A and B are shown apart, each in its own frame.
Chain A
């Protein structure tokens, strides 16, 4: 892939916007980037949202959506804390794996309803958003997991850095690379795009549509579970309301990152960049003198702007194609007595390879 086509990609635009935000903010307040804390926050703050956005991207690419991720995160975050309290001997890795497995199950539940009953994922996951949250609330009550309940080694994951990079950021990066790699280089990954691009055609081609959908929702659930573990490590306290309302931020990040809400296009990298852009803007606003109360407004405007921009680009493309059809009329279309427009389209050009095989 040439450098030019790389620059033209939708992801490049978001990366550029991200750089501009960081650049401008740093120019105003150098500490935003050029201090130990600034650097750390820049990387650490988005890491949880990146993991969620990457998972959501997989689902949205199949022309679905999972609104229950905030509730899954809350449930698995609480589960993580609970396990540390109730089974203090379990190794941290096992606790994390259990939480991820729980997330996978919740995702599978979403996926199987969507895939087998063939109902819109929006409604189903709206329902499970309530249910999963309700389970957490019932289980936790007004109970809260505090930093003291969890092992110090675990909490250290939330703050420690390796080679100047926070551990959680490392985890997010590994997730991003793995999912991006899967989407790009696995047969199943490409089939997810095909399914989102045209579900009917995908079925006609004999692709295992249901299995892929189940897998997409399960993967998203697993990543939401992982995000729950990260949440517990990062914040040290988990109440039953952890992650409430996060789903809209996640969907927003994915859309801003250029994953089309109607499926078939977008990348994990784009979604991750979208998540970073949203949260970095949030942190930049107070620096440039806008009270952080306005953060959500900016995020909303950004989401709408991103969809509108995608539409404008798509419209321009289709108009160009319509005009191209006229510029190159089918043979014999010239009306009697009038020359074909624009000289002879039939002139042998570099595209004419009849000789090559004749």
Chain B
């Protein structure tokens, strides 16, 4: 039997991810040609610095959404981690210790989410809306409306300075490393296979010996820890630890992940698509800003893109399913139009508990 039904170039190019990458390239080319100053080195520097937190958080979010769950508390963990980092610094602890404690605290935040979702069986959408408020509340409660500043320059510069003469900030290396790690985990490990299987059919995964609960717990812990890391970065980048840092960023992250081709029903998604999704939002943002367009129009663009990215494959998929079911002998009783949340592929609705 053949290994693949289609030649390699078709498999590589005719994917949902390539569409996002294509749009990214087009956006880049158009912006370089039409927007004054876009192709300058400064644009690249700021692009990387600006998208870094969203990019970091989008990586574990990809895995979580690929299982059919969601974590809306990530931006609050950024805030809480920022405050923790700041307070520990203020208390005179070394920054490495502060970093470690902050990330650990983020992991604990994630573990609370994960335990409630995986082991108590609560819907992740509702749980993480709750913990969004809870973690943000802790952050704001701990620091009030004040801010901690005065981080050593060696650290704040480290977060923003460039690699030698290149336009790329030093953190680019870290980001590339993280992207590589998550890409390998999702696409080339048994764990990554488990993640996608859970998203496609958590019941079938369980019958194949996948520990669904533990997998979900691990993902939420990962999400918390990475969000906390992003929180420390955010603090250093702006030199200020505040309780309201990164408020609302969860929506940007989810939008980027879905733009990158990850299915909200779970079971589908690739890291390169998500990276392209994050960059696309970043490029649009900086291009439009350079054009003097306000953040507002950018929001409209992001929002519309999000809706279209979900609706378009749905319409295409609906046509495909109809053709397929006409061609294949109906072994099962007919499926009925499933109303509100019907998904012909049997994917679970967002946040459906296990």
Contact = CB atoms under 8 A, between A and B. Distances in A.
B140 A296 contact: yes
A138 B297 contact: yes
Contact of B133 (A196, A296, A308): A296
Interface in B138-158: 138, 140-145
A274 B134 CA distance: 17
Given A127-B255, A261-B125, A307-B122, A122 B264 contact: yes
B254 A126 contact: yes
B132 A300 contact: yes
Interface string A113-139: 111011110111011111111111110
A296 B144 CA distance: 12
Contact of B126 (A117, A130, A307): A307
A296 B305 CA distance: 31
A307 B143 CA distance: 28
B130 interface: yes
A131 B299 contact: yes
> Dominant SS at the A interface?
helix
Contact of B306 (A130, A202, A311): A130
A19 interface: no
Interface string A1-14: 00000000000000
Interface stretch (A164-172, A173-181, A245-253): A245-253
Interface residues of B, number: 65
Interface stretch (B29-37, B98-106, B219-227, B338-346): B338-346
B129 A119 contact: no
Contact of B342 (A118, A240, A301): A118
B118 to A, nearest CB: 13
A203 B306 CA distance: 28
A127 B120 CA distance: 30
A123 B70 CA distance: 11
Contacts of A311: 120-122
A261 B120 CA distance: 16
A160 to B, nearest CB: 33
Contacts of B174: none
Of the listed residues A120, A202, A297, the one surrounded by the most CB atoms of chain B closer than 10 A to its CB is A120
Given A127-B306, A293-B140, A308-B116, A300 B341 contact: no
Contact of A127 (B265, B303, B351): B303
A123 B132 contact: no
Interface string A92-130: 000000000000000000000111011110111011111
Of the listed residues A199, A252, A291, A302, the one surrounded by the most CB atoms of chain B closer than 10 A to its CB is A199
Contact of A123 (B135, B138, B294, B350): B350
B264 A304 contact: no
Contacts of B318: 118
A195 B339 contact: yes
B277 to A, nearest CB: 14
Given A300-B130, A304-B134, A137 B120 contact: no
B125 to A, nearest CB: 6
B248 to A, nearest CB: 7
A296 B136 contact: yes
B311 interface: yes
Contacts of B130: 252, 255, 300-304, 307
B338 A134 contact: no
Nearest to B121: A311
Nearest to A302: B130
B264 A123 contact: yes
Interface string A297-322: 11111111001100100000000000
B123 A130 contact: no
A117 B130 CA distance: 29
Given A131-B300, A248-B129, A294 B336 contact: no
B351 A300 contact: no
Given A252-B130, A261-B125, A308-B116, A129 B137 contact: no
B341 A199 contact: yes
Contact of B131 (A113, A251, A300): A300
A63 interface: yes
B123 A128 contact: no
Interface in B267-308: 294-307
A143 interface: no
Given A119-B310, A245-B248, A307-B126, A133 B299 contact: yes
Given A127-B304, A199-B339, A200-B342, A137 B129 contact: no
Interface in A188-211: 195-196, 199-200, 202-204, 209
A231 to B, nearest CB: 19
B127 interface: yes
Nearest to B112: A304
Given A134-B299, A291-B144, A296-B140, A209 B294 contact: no
B314 interface: yes
B141 A130 contact: no
B337 interface: yes
B247 interface: yes
B315 interface: yes
Contacts of A123: 254, 258, 264, 306-307, 310, 350
B247 A245 contact: yes
Interface of A: 62-65, 113-115, 117-120, 122-124, 126-138, 141, 195-196, 199-200, 202-204, 209, 213, 240, 244-245, 248, 251-252, 255, 261-263, 291, 293-304, 307-308, 311
Interface of B: 70, 116, 120-123, 125-127, 129-138, 140-145, 243, 247-248, 251, 254-255, 258, 264-265, 294-307, 310-311, 314-315, 318, 336-343, 349-352
Top 4 A-B pairs ranked by shortest CB distance? A297-B137, A300-B134, A130-B303, A137-B296
21 contacts: A62-B340, A117-B314, A118-B343, A123-B306, A123-B307, A126-B251, A126-B255, A127-B306, A130-B306, A136-B296, A200-B339, A203-B338, A203-B339, A209-B339, A245-B248, A251-B129, A255-B126, A299-B134, A301-B134, A303-B133, A307-B123
Given A251-B129, A293-B144, 6 more contacts: A122-B350, A128-B307, A138-B294, A209-B339, A261-B123, A299-B134
